[in-house]
Structure 1
Amino acid sequence: MPAFTARPVTPADLPLISGFAESAETLFYFFPKAHFPLGAAQLASALAERQHGIVLLRDEQPVAYANLLKVVPGEYASLGNLVVAPAARGQGAARALIEHLEHLARTNFAIRELRAACFNHNSAGLLCYQQLGFSPFAMEPRQDWQGRAVMLLHLRRAIPC
């Protein structure tokens, strides 16, 4: 299997990344405020409010995307809009992308903790975060895209010095 590489996202990547959300449920997990189907304009709007939008590539093709939602220099950075292309799920893309963003945040902002949020129904996401050493530290009641009650789990992992 070819190795992953990463680079900053470009406007030309946004239509393809928008297609990674193949259902309203998938979109809710990676971008809860967006409306299905996701368009490049919605993704560009979110990116304008965030830092370090990164696209992960395999064979020069985008297979995953995420950004840093919030950064508190010297303390923590929060992952945002993490999504993996359907054909690349379960192949280590999320791990590679999270590790890349962690490196950027540690290098540029001297963070000591990486944070993420994941909805209780997103079993694949929760399993991935658990395998990467994240632990829950808070819960927040929300509503999903259909108005049903769900729980947003806030997760974190310490960054070794």
Structure 2
Amino acid sequence: MILRHRPVKADDIKTICSFPLDAQELFYMFPKAQYPLTEAQLSNAITQRFDSTVVETGNSVVGFANFYRAETGGVCCIGNVIVAQEARGKGVATFIVETMTALAFNRYDATEVQISCFNENTAGLLLYPKLGFLPFAVEERSSLDSRRSALIHMTRKVP
């Protein structure tokens, strides 16, 4: 699978909205959104964020992420990470997180990149440390069904 990245375009929005398969997946990607993800919700988030990026293979968009914080010479925070179901387990998440991390270090001269992951998101918890992210804080949140949940904040310093 050959992967490429590029900035998101308006006609990508509908495709990205189809990636979260249920309310739980949407919660991991975008906790403030209501399931199902709508084009209006995603478009609004994109206008408030930085460097919204898609991953493509062939002519298909298969991944998405952006920064919800991007400080030149400071911290960049990756958010809205999601991979299409048919592309999961094929390196797309690694590619998008590495792409966003490189963008933070190269474009923003960031000193560190942060990413956060809910404790129920096993795939993310297993992936991010493999990519050099280390936990530094745990924040209590409410899960979709109002149970206690932990949002684990991780960081990767400039190499």
TM-score range, shorter chain: over 0.9
Comparing 67-76 with 47-56, which one deviates more in the overlay?
A: 67-76
User: Unaligned regions of 5+ residues in structure 1, if any?
Assistant: none
CA shift, 1:105, in A, is 1.6
Contact 2:98 2:131 in 1 (8 A): no
User: Which residue is 2:141 aligned to?
Assistant: 142
Deviations 1:13-48 (A, max 9, x none): 011101100100000000000000111110011111
Q: Percent identity?
A: 38
User: Which residue is 1:4 aligned to?
Assistant: 3
User: Which residue is 2:124 aligned to?
Assistant: 125
User: Which residue is 2:91 aligned to?
Assistant: 92
- What is the alpha-carbon distance in structure 1 between the residues aligned to residue 9 and residue 144 of structure 2? 28
| Matched AA of 1:152 | L
| Matched AA of 2:141 | R
Moved over 4 A (4+): none
CA shift, 1:146, in A, is 1.6
Deviations 1:56-98 (A, max 9, x none): 0011210000001101211220001000011111111011111
TM-score normalised by structure 1 residue count: 0.96
- What is the alpha-carbon distance in structure 2 between the residues aligned to residue 72 and residue 6 of structure 1? 22
- 1:21-60 pair list within 5 angstroms: 21-60=20-59
User: Which residue is 1:16 aligned to?
Assistant: 15
TM-score normalised by structure 2 residue count: 0.97
CA shift, 1:131, in A, is 1.0
- What is the alpha-carbon distance in structure 1 between the residues aligned to residue 74 and residue 144 of structure 2? 32
